[in-house]
Structure 1
Amino acid sequence: MTTFSVIVTALDAQGYLRECLDSALRLPAGEVEVIGVDNGSTDATGALFDEYDERDARVTVVHLPRRLPAGAARAAGAELANGDYLLFVDGRDALVEGALEALAERVTETGRPDVVVFDHVRSHWSNSAIASGDARLFAGPGREVFSVTAHPELLHLTPTVANRLVRADFFAAHRELFTQDEYAEVLPALGSLLAADRIAAHDQICLRRSEPDTPQAAEGQFNLFPQYDALWALMDRRGVGKAHRAVVFSGMIRRYLKVLTLPGMADRDQAEFFRRASEHFLRYKPADYTRPSNLNGVRHAMLERGSYVGYRALQTANRKRRTVRSLAVKAKKKAGQYATESAYREQLRHPIEEDLAVFSAYWDRGVTCSPAAISAQLAELAPGIRQVWVVRRAGVPLVPAGIDYVVPGTRRYWSVMARAKYLVNNVNFPDSVIKRPGQIHVQTHHGTPLKRMGIDQIPFPATSRGVDYDALLERCGRWDYSVSANRHSTEIWERAYPVPFTSLDYGYPRNDTYYTATAADVRRIRERLGVAPGRKALLYAPTHRDYEATWTPRLDLERLARTLGDDFVLLVRGHYFYDRGLSPLEELHRRGVIIDVSRYDSVEELALASDALITDYSSVMFDYANLDRPVVVFADDWETYSVTRGVYFDLTELSPGAVARSQEDVERIFRSGEWRGEAAAAKRAEFRRKFCEFDDGRAAERVVRHVFLGEHGVPPVVPLAERTPAPTPEQAAAVPTPAG
């Protein structure tokens, strides 16, 4: 039996790490171990490793105190390896199903070779299975064991250690090849093939590699030179022939030229890199070298002559040509748009106003949700910062007194969007908004994701058809901060929106009220809604279905109200996507069967006023769980919804309370008392532990102190067991009303 040590090195990979670890743990104990190397992560990567370590004896974790070069991080994991073979993967990668079994079989049939190379695919948000380009290279060796001497074409394999299985004692004997790399894996990838006497090829796909969504930075690029020096020394010791040297040389020069085009390299560093690349060109140029005949040949000539001035002149000329073409295309595309936004272009010439913040929520619907909570806290902690809300014209009458606002598209709107230092929203601002250098964008989101979001929706046509995901990611690319209520959300946002941002694991500001509201607040809201004292208020808040054009309540509300009797009252809130036209709730409301709260501005107040929640797949359940009150999940179409919309977990298994699959189930759950029984409470407790992680009543304060005041020592999150939610309606009724 072949045993594997899968060494997972990860740096800030929280959005991908679960899939990676799960894929590596498919074999039983005794056949596989996973060694997680947390390479100085600043996100929840380390905590995720620890979670797996605690629950699975096959997992061992190493926490590095600071980020180390890739080779050093892998070596730290290899120190603890006990398997016959080592497999090095990144925390964003994932093994395909059956990969380890197939590799074990290949090891056995080839007599335990030094190295087994295999195919892989690359994964990008737009395509989860981009061919590596290596497939053609596996044809030559076939199923026999070989050395690279007989097959120099194998040196063209994608240069990474993740596409090869390495025998543990071979790794130990050639440790210097695997521990010196940084920036690129040239030495371990090519060196392992050059040093191995016995190599086997497996032409099947075993790994999915995550494609970076941002250009590779130039940091660490000088490490390439000692890697190639070591490679050439190895080839000299091994007596490698001309064909192999030609492959290595061409790859080396191609990589050097690529580094010279990367953004972020200082002029002095670029000049020094060019000088050293030129030295390597002359030192390692094969005797039968022939210069390419295309534009790359010109670049080769510059390196051969050591002419950095000539190289820069060539690059400048090419850049100017590309810029002219790009501007012409953009100008044509934006001509019509700019014609209506000339005021905005004018305002963009003015300095950013450091004391100006712009807020919006739900596509400019009004002053609500987490942006409203942040706005209120900002007014208290930093009253010197001027606030302006963006509110659509139809919502202007509902703007609270004293709130400054602008209507989208007006001249002042373009002025504040151009000049504001801070931009806060729970959705994205329009494409027409330009994120200026120096502006700070806070994305608060508006719920914890059960349904698939962002690029994770792509495989689900009910929601992805017609969506321009390039435009979506361009909008998301404006985010500086992403506010999160729990680690589940943090992981999902990172993967669903693969753009650079900093996660603020502070809780959702809109949920602060679930810990700060008083008994008087609960009584006041119930009185405003018309809920009589002593009646149990059930908030029914379903979500919308992407496969339905209009909304019809899936519950027979009149029958439910009749079945439950006068002890209960139904507060029914239709989803805001269906706020146009005649509501099916109006007649029931007029007749007193239900209370239609679809247009009631604050969902948080409705939650405070209710004794229990009935919902289906709405994110309101995650927020409501903070109140530690009963939740009933009505999942009559779960199979259809989960397949068409896509979900992140099975809600029927991990629910915040009793699950109903029919109208009869809902009625039985309430008539029997199951809705607030011990089993429902146990489910709710588990749900709260997972999804109410950061909500403790001080989320807005943490956001304001960090983003607007520049404080990093924000108040710590209070542990769940130490929090006290707002009083229930029953508790609120028992609190004496203050005299006067």
Structure 2
Amino acid sequence: MPELSVIVHGPNTQDHLTGLLDSLAAHPLPDIEVIVAAVGDWARETAERHTPDLQVLPLPDGTCDAEARAAGAARATGRWLHFVHAKDGLPAGAPRTVAERAAELPDTVDVLLLDHVRSTWRACGLPSPDGPLLARAGRADLTLDDCVPLLRLTPLLGTRAIRAGFWRAHEQHLHTDDEAFAAYAVLLLADRVACLPHPAYEDRRLRPASLPPVTPEQRYALVDRYERLLDLTRDRPAAQAVLYDVMVRDCLRTFARGGMPEEVAREFFRRASLAALRRRPETYRRPAGLEGIRRSLLEEGAYGRYRAFQAANRTRRAARSAVRTRKRQVGAKLRDHQYRRALNRPVDPHLAVFAAYWNRGVACNPAAIAAKLAELAPQIHPVWVVTADNAALLPPGTDHVVPGTRRYWEVLATAKYLVNNVNFPNEVVKRPDAVHLQTHHGTPLKRMGLDQMRFPAAAQGLDFQALLERVDKWDYSVSANSHTTRMWERAYPSRFVSLDHGYPRNDVYYTAGADHVRAVRDRLGIAPGRRAVLYAPTHRDYEAGWTPRLDLAALADRLGEDTVLLVRGHYFYDSAVSPLTGLRRTGRIVDVSSYDPVEDLCLAADALVTDYSSIMFDYANLDRPLVVYADDWETYRTTRGVYFDLMAEPPGAVARTQEELAEIFTTDAWRDEGAAKARAAFRRRFCEYDDGRAAERVVRRVFLGQDEEQLPPVLPIEERTPAPTPQEATA
């Protein structure tokens, strides 16, 4: 019996079925069977091109979704069923991920909830809002009453893997063309559910203009759907309250955005009003503010007053928007005037402006360069660009400016040197006698710059013409290795000079001594002799927020009392509530997401676990064990794009599941001979120019104007001595 039956069903709408089946046939797996309930001749012909890798079940044109699902389920032999509509997709590696998670679950679990990505006719791979909710539910199986917020998940049947026995026992309730009803119903009928907070489905929204018009009956069916679902919540007050709230929100949103004819809108409002009154739980309390007013008018059936309320809101929003626009225009004129005046002043040869990570503070390569500049060229005065929120965190005495202020524009206009690890704003003018130094902030595994154009999830919101205009201002681009040099020249085609000097932020990996290592571990509370494992995952463009891809509490239990997990979330998620909040504080899991600098964390760690983060290239300088946790490599590679196959050229051991990761660290696999050989090859390739003197070379070349021949030569890798390991530091 296969673990999972993937049931693809429906017609080959706009030929999306072809790509879906191509992806499934490209990676057949022994524990997964694929059944195509092909509706119509085109779908059948498309599916038959992929036999014998999948089974084809031809169905007549016009067969509804419910009948197609039923036919596929009847043919399936898997323990779990995953229904995939022919118009939708599956991220690379998703069937394997679902099958592995399902294999862990007992027969008491009926539904496995999955995260998803969204695609439209404009873009693909956009994150869903469901990831954080799934992550908060955790990995343990639970009843819906234990976690009723799961009813707020996007109602897609494709984001529910369903135990085959459960499906067959309840098929009469789930036999419907209303996919959203079926998606909610499997949750309400399930005894226990489990979660997989990683994208394993692609919801593809077709262009509305290509679809038949929505009929009045289809509008009214939305209200009927929730009334039927609420019938399933009798004697379950918590689920009833959440589902009622979902119903009211959905009805109001549909009414506001539906574009219905007047008579249809009036009747829809009437039906929604009756349902809101009839189904309102006794303990229900309307929210405050405008949303509360909307709900009150709905319950009253006050159609005319609701329309007037909508019109008043539109007028108020338009007025506020006009005021904001006017303020922006006035501010822009003032800023432009101040900046233009400052541009008429001479360039100050002793002024340098530094910024890092979108003005987060003193960090990364710019910080290392500024420190070396103070030593070798103290006559040059550094000014840091820092947001108002981060200014309080600066080291004492740091001269800084806040973006948008008068002095901010003055220093940008008059500084001889502008140093950043990202780009300065588009408005910054490149003066002929100013020097722009781009330091970057990592070695590229993922596609960057113009290479992102083929990957919509990564490219969303990017203006590539504006990017090139910013790149054209660079005079110098810092590189840590020849791979990076080549990729920057490809991703950012311009006339800048590549400085193959190493990353200044990595100097500390060769200059830090035992005292430094001991001091950092003391600050983190890591006792001598305990193994510290740093877990530092990267950002994913297809996730709405940071979802730890490991059950950290379970991993800490497995690794034992002598191991401390240092967990660092990506800086993109600074403003979000940390998913680490609430983990038990045993001293074995430490959230270091806000700890700076990250180089100190690397010095304190006995080993690094990461996925696709550029921290692996930096950490390799220490010649300490590196483990790659790549549970979604296929998805990441397909969605984000990569420059090389990390699975074929890893820096050490590779784990694809949490069990494999735990096995690596409970044996010697994390530091055995095979891991050491892989790390050595990785270091030779990616630590090419890092030897502890990168910042000196950059300062001498850019700020002191020395020729390449005058710079300290790069020390061969076999002659370098990294900072002592924690074990060596306590010896």
TM-score by length of 1: 0.54
Amino acid across the alignment from 2:514: A
Question: In structure 2, how many angstroms separate the alpha carbons of the residues matched to 1:615 and 1:581?
Answer: 21
- Residue in 2 that maps onto 1:659: 654
Instruction: Find the residue that maps to 2:375 and give its secondary structure.
Output: helix
Q: Give percent identity, aligned residues only.
A: 66
Question: In structure 2, how many angstroms separate the alpha carbons of the residues matched to 1:589 and 1:352?
Answer: 55
- Is the deviation greater in 592-601 or in 499-508? 592-601
- Residue in 1 that maps onto 2:376: 381
What's the offset of the Cα at 1:339?
Answer: 4.0
Matched, 1:359 2:359: no
Instruction: Find the residue that maps to 1:451 and give its secondary structure.
Output: coil
Structure 1: runs of 5 or more not aligned: 1-332, 735-740
What's the offset of the Cα at 1:590?
Answer: 4.2
- Residue in 1 that maps onto 2:729: 732
Among 658, 666, 669, the residue aligned to 1:671: 666
- Residue in 1 that maps onto 2:387: 392
- Residue in 2 that maps onto 1:643: 638
Matched, 1:466 2:461: yes
Amino acid across the alignment from 2:564: V
Among 555, 579, 597, the residue aligned to 2:592: 597
Computing the radius of gyration from Cα coordinates, the structure with the larger value is 1
Question: In structure 2, how many angstroms separate the alpha carbons of the residues matched to 1:414 and 1:721?
Answer: 47
Among 420, 427, 430, the residue aligned to 2:422: 427
- Is the deviation greater in 354-363 or in 342-351? 342-351
Question: In structure 1, how many angstroms separate the alpha carbons of the residues matched to 2:423 and 2:442?
Answer: 14
Question: In structure 1, how many angstroms separate the alpha carbons of the residues matched to 2:531 and 2:636?
Answer: 30
- Residue in 2 that maps onto 1:87: none
Amino acid across the alignment from 1:729: P
What's the offset of the Cα at 1:530?
Answer: 0.9
Question: In structure 1, how many angstroms separate the alpha carbons of the residues matched to 2:399 and 2:332?
Answer: 27
What's the offset of the Cα at 1:465?
Answer: 2.8
Instruction: Find the residue that maps to 1:341 and give its secondary structure.
Output: helix
What's the offset of the Cα at 1:552?
Answer: 1.1
Instruction: Find the residue that maps to 2:419 and give its secondary structure.
Output: strand
Amino acid across the alignment from 2:719: E
Amino acid across the alignment from 1:685: A
What's the offset of the Cα at 1:341?
Answer: 3.1
Matched, 1:496 2:455: no
Amino acid across the alignment from 1:705: R
Amino acid across the alignment from 1:726: A
Matched, 1:508 2:509: no
Does the 8 A contact of 2:563 with 2:588 survive in 1? no
- Residue in 1 that maps onto 2:679: 684
Question: In structure 2, how many angstroms separate the alpha carbons of the residues matched to 1:342 and 1:600?
Answer: 40
Question: In structure 1, how many angstroms separate the alpha carbons of the residues matched to 2:609 and 2:531?
Answer: 13
Question: In structure 1, how many angstroms separate the alpha carbons of the residues matched to 2:626 and 2:557?
Answer: 20
- Residue in 2 that maps onto 1:130: none
Question: In structure 2, how many angstroms separate the alpha carbons of the residues matched to 1:706 and 1:590?
Answer: 48
Question: In structure 1, how many angstroms separate the alpha carbons of the residues matched to 2:331 and 2:450?
Answer: 29
Does the 8 A contact of 1:589 with 1:596 survive in 2? no
- Residue in 2 that maps onto 1:562: 557
- Residue in 2 that maps onto 1:456: 451
What's the offset of the Cα at 1:533?
Answer: 1.2
CA shift digits 1:327-380 (9 cap, x unpaired): xxxxxx999734433211111110000010010000000001000000000000
CA shift digits 1:74-116 (9 cap, x unpaired): xxxxxxxxxxxxxxxxxxxxxxxxxxxxxxxxxxxxxxxxxxx
Matched, 1:721 2:718: yes
Change (3 A) 1:444 1:557: same
Amino acid across the alignment from 1:724: T
What's the offset of the Cα at 1:548?
Answer: 0.2
Does the 8 A contact of 2:545 with 2:576 survive in 1? no
What's the offset of the Cα at 1:730?
Answer: 0.2
Question: In structure 1, how many angstroms separate the alpha carbons of the residues matched to 2:523 and 2:480?
Answer: 29
- Is the deviation greater in 338-347 or in 690-699? 338-347
Amino acid across the alignment from 1:645: R
What's the offset of the Cα at 1:402?
Answer: 2.2
Question: In structure 2, how many angstroms separate the alpha carbons of the residues matched to 1:591 and 1:581?
Answer: 24
What's the offset of the Cα at 1:672?
Answer: 1.2
What's the offset of the Cα at 1:591?
Answer: 5.1
- Residue in 2 that maps onto 1:703: 698
Question: In structure 1, how many angstroms separate the alpha carbons of the residues matched to 2:329 and 2:415?
Answer: 23
Question: In structure 1, how many angstroms separate the alpha carbons of the residues matched to 2:439 and 2:385?
Answer: 16
- Is the deviation greater in 567-576 or in 579-588? 579-588
Question: In structure 2, how many angstroms separate the alpha carbons of the residues matched to 1:345 and 1:338?
Answer: 10
Does the 8 A contact of 2:412 with 2:428 survive in 1? yes
What's the offset of the Cα at 1:464?
Answer: 1.3
Question: In structure 2, how many angstroms separate the alpha carbons of the residues matched to 1:542 and 1:476?
Answer: 28
Does the 8 A contact of 1:485 with 1:695 survive in 2? yes
Change (3 A) 1:485 1:557: same
Among 473, 478, 481, the residue aligned to 1:478: 473
Does the 8 A contact of 2:418 with 2:437 survive in 1? yes
Matched, 1:487 2:488: no
Task: Give runs of aligned pairs for residues 84-483 of structure 1, distance below 5 A.
Answer: 337-483=332-478
Matched, 1:536 2:556: no
Amino acid across the alignment from 2:421: N
Question: In structure 2, how many angstroms separate the alpha carbons of the residues matched to 1:674 and 1:553?
Answer: 23
- Residue in 1 that maps onto 2:581: 586
Among 548, 554, 561, the residue aligned to 2:543: 548
What's the offset of the Cα at 1:510?
Answer: 0.1
Question: In structure 2, how many angstroms separate the alpha carbons of the residues matched to 1:467 and 1:443?
Answer: 19
Amino acid across the alignment from 1:622: F
Instruction: Find the residue that maps to 2:670 and give its secondary structure.
Output: helix
Instruction: Find the residue that maps to 1:359 and give its secondary structure.
Output: strand
Task: Give runs of aligned pairs for residues 6-155 of structure 1, distance below 5 A.
Answer: none
Change (3 A) 1:600 1:513: same
Instruction: Find the residue that maps to 1:345 and give its secondary structure.
Output: helix
Does the 8 A contact of 1:589 with 1:595 survive in 2? no
Structure 2: runs of 5 or more not aligned: 1-327
Question: In structure 2, how many angstroms separate the alpha carbons of the residues matched to 1:345 and 1:570?
Answer: 52
Amino acid across the alignment from 1:345: R
- Residue in 1 that maps onto 2:627: 632
TM-score by length of 2: 0.54
Question: In structure 2, how many angstroms separate the alpha carbons of the residues matched to 1:406 and 1:468?
Answer: 27
Instruction: Find the residue that maps to 1:456 and give its secondary structure.
Output: helix
Question: In structure 1, how many angstroms separate the alpha carbons of the residues matched to 2:537 and 2:651?
Answer: 15
Does the 8 A contact of 1:343 with 1:414 survive in 2? yes
Amino acid across the alignment from 2:716: P
Amino acid across the alignment from 1:717: V
Question: In structure 2, how many angstroms separate the alpha carbons of the residues matched to 1:659 and 1:649?
Answer: 16
What's the offset of the Cα at 1:433?
Answer: 1.1
Does the 8 A contact of 1:696 with 1:718 survive in 2? yes
Instruction: Find the residue that maps to 2:582 and give its secondary structure.
Output: helix
Question: In structure 2, how many angstroms separate the alpha carbons of the residues matched to 1:667 and 1:640?
Answer: 23
CA shift digits 1:386-413 (9 cap, x unpaired): 1111111111111101221111111111
Higher RCO (Cα < 8 Å, 6 or more apart)? 2
Change (3 A) 1:482 1:334: farther
**Corresponding pairs, count:** 402
CA shift digits 1:34-88 (9 cap, x unpaired): xxxxxxxxxxxxxxxxxxxxxxxxxxxxxxxxxxxxxxxxxxxxxxxxxxxxxxx
Matched, 1:618 2:608: no
What's the offset of the Cα at 1:532?
Answer: 1.2
Cα RMSD, aligned residues only: 1.3
Does the 8 A contact of 2:335 with 2:406 survive in 1? no
Amino acid across the alignment from 1:605: D
